[in-house]
Structure 1
Amino acid sequence: MSAGLAALLDDVAVLARAAAASVDDVAAGASRASVKAAGVIVDDAAVTPRYVTGFKPERELPMIRRIAVGSLRNKLLFILPVALILSEFVDWLLTPILMVGGAYLCFEGAEKIWELINPRHHAEESSVSEQGAQQEDQMVSSAIRTDFILSAEIMVISLNEVEDEPLLSRAIILIAVAFAITALVYGVVALIVKMDDVGLNLARTREGAGASFGRGLVKAMPIVLSVLSKVGIAAMLWVGGHILLVGIDELGWHSPYEEVHHLEEDVGGGVLGWFVNTGASAILGIVVGAIVVAVMHVVHHRQKAH
């Protein structure tokens, strides 16, 4: 009896060690995947604030919360199952699907640039006082659509990093990545857009250096948000262009990516290499985005003519 109990305890201990090792593997995999996707995480955090800029302060956090929920829904209900199924059975489809998303990001970025330089667009824009529930819903929906592409790239990059793991481990890792990245991105976004309120509170409740710092925050945040809005547009272009650049290489046309890689090496890699890669991706993004915008405008005008 005692020998049987000892054997059972040994089996339990083995299972416990295996479970602990599995948890460690999942945690390590989630960490590797998150680090690999860090570049897109930064882009996601830069893109989102532009969607809540200009709305009443009391609507900013509710909008961010709605976008964050939409982002998590994108990752868990749509991207995760499709990515796992494709990676298991038709992994060659992942690249073309991502490239379609990259082209959409290029279109979004180019469209925003067109809106900035088109004076008629500014004449038609709604003022802040006219922004009601419908305008808010439109901006939240637009943010969630853009997030879908960025989230897809994050999840696919993360999936590629743990492709050797068993299917269940991959699923658990991607779920962990989805929650962690969504919390990180939208926590940072919420902090950014509410910093002016923090500054206002400091200016009202503190004295001396604290009050001066608060007033400085209040003055600086409109500039910061404006800059972030422009960075968000640029991020759409360089992320979309980079998706296309890498996708073209993976589909067999190697020369464009090789040329960019050689230019990175010529400047010595590192930060300068990153700027070269980002610049080349942005140029490709602008070209592709401009073409899509032109096509969409022609189609729109023809539909109006009919």
Structure 2
Amino acid sequence: MPGGLVALLDDVSIIARAAAASVDDIAAAAGRAGSKTAGVVIDDAAVTPSYVTGLSPARELPIIWSITKGSLKNKLLILLPAALLLSEFLDGAIIYFLMLGGLYLCYEGAEKVIEKLGGEKHGKTVDDVIEDPVRFEKERIAGAIRTDLILSAEIMAITLNEIDLALWWQRGIALALVAIVVTVLVYGTVGLIVKMDDVGLHLAKKPSALVQKFGRGMVAFVPYLLTALSFIGTIAMLWVGGGILLHGTHEIGLHGLYDAAHGLEYAIQSTTGALGGVLGWLSYAAVSALLALIVGGIIVFVLHKVFKLGHETGAH
């Protein structure tokens, strides 16, 4: 009996060590994958503040919380199971779903650029008279969650591509870890950004003249920050959307656009010295955004001029 008990304990210890090693592998894989999604995370953080710009300050955090819950549902209830099923049974189909998401980002980004250049607006904006604030708020939340779905799909796809875990449940845990950390990071940051003016007003009432000055500076800075983030968000959608299309066409065997974009990147990188890396990357991002603007512009024309469809996200 003692020998059997010792053998059992040995077996338990082996299982425990294997489980611990699995946890370490999952954590390491999630960390590597999370670092690879940094660009898309920044894009997501840049896009989201535009959905609360111009609305009542009292509704900003509730709206962000609603978007946060929607983002978690996107990642954990829709994208995670879909990613696991695709990776298990239809690994080659992932690229086509990514390209559909890329087309949507191209469309969204191009539509915003066209509107900024004086083109026809589609859906209510914060500059219009809002007759039903509750409905308008719901539309903006829905628009934010739809855009989040595309960006979250890209994050999950990058994560899935980066993790090297054989078992489906390990991949699932790694995906869930990245999803939760990214969501908290993005929407926590967004919450801080949109409440900066309230913090500034609070500081402006403090006895210290220096603190008051700093608070007033924060209040004055917020509108410029939100305008900049709105601009960055539009550029980000075009950059990410175009990049998805370039990568996707390359993956399915159409190499021309991808090779041309990387050829330009390498040419600039090799001829600009110390700044080569940055300028090369910027050239590739610019080509991606230009491609997205062209493709998105075509989609906007077809949807709004040919099929006469309106855009009712209310997210402009």
Distance 1:38 1:122, change over 3 A: closer
Offset from partner CA, 1:236-289 (integer Å, 9 cap, x none): 111111110100110101121112212222222522222111101100010011
Offset from partner CA, 1:161-203 (integer Å, 9 cap, x none): 1144321100110011111111011011111111111111111
Q: CA deviation at 1:91?
A: 1.4
Q: CA deviation at 1:116?
A: 2.0
In structure 2, the residue matched to 1:193 is 194
Residues 103-252 of structure 1 mapped to structure 2, 5 A cutoff: 103-118=103-118, 121=121, 125=125, 127=128, 130=131, 132-252=133-253
Partners of 1:122 and 1:301 lie apart in 2 by 11
Q: CA deviation at 1:140?
A: 0.5
Partners of 1:266 and 1:116 lie apart in 2 by 33
The answer to which of 84-93 and 268-277 deviates more is 268-277
In structure 2, the residue matched to 1:280 is 287
Partners of 1:123 and 1:144 lie apart in 2 by 16
Residues 57-76 of structure 1 mapped to structure 2, 5 A cutoff: 57-76=57-76
1:73 is matched by which residue type in structure 2? K
Partners of 1:131 and 1:31 lie apart in 2 by 44
Partners of 1:147 and 1:294 lie apart in 2 by 24
Partners of 1:290 and 1:197 lie apart in 2 by 38
C-alpha contact 2:71 2:149 (8 A) present in aligned 1: yes
Q: CA deviation at 1:9?
A: 2.0
Partners of 1:24 and 1:3 lie apart in 2 by 31
In structure 2, the residue matched to 1:80 is 80
> TM-score of the superposition, structure 1-length normalised?
0.94
C-alpha contact 1:111 1:293 (8 A) present in aligned 2: yes
Distance 1:9 1:120, change over 3 A: closer
Distance 1:76 1:92, change over 3 A: same
Q: CA deviation at 1:7?
A: 2.0
Partners of 1:47 and 1:123 lie apart in 2 by 18
Give the SS at the match of 2:88. Answer: helix
The answer to which of 157-166 and 100-109 deviates more is 157-166
Partners of 2:203 and 2:97 lie apart in 1 by 48
Distance 1:248 1:129, change over 3 A: closer
1:232 is matched by which residue type in structure 2? G
Q: CA deviation at 1:122?
A: 10
Structure with the higher helix share, 1 or 2: 1
In structure 2, the residue matched to 1:295 is 302
Unaligned runs of 5+ in 1: none
* Identity, % of aligned positions: 53
Give the SS at the match of 1:54. Answer: coil
In structure 2, the residue matched to 1:29 is 29
In structure 1, the residue matched to 2:272 is none
How many residues are treated as equivalent by the alignment?
303
> TM-score of the superposition, structure 2-length normalised?
0.91
Q: CA deviation at 1:127?
A: 4.2
Structure 1 stretches (4+) deviating beyond 3 angstroms? 119-131, 299-303
RMSD: 2.0
Q: Is the aligned partner of 1:12 residue 2:19?
A: no
Q: CA deviation at 1:130?
A: 4.7
C-alpha contact 2:242 2:289 (8 A) present in aligned 1: yes
C-alpha contact 2:107 2:296 (8 A) present in aligned 1: yes
1:50 is matched by which residue type in structure 2? S
1:150 is matched by which residue type in structure 2? L
In structure 2, the residue matched to 1:48 is 48
Q: CA deviation at 1:301?
A: 3.5
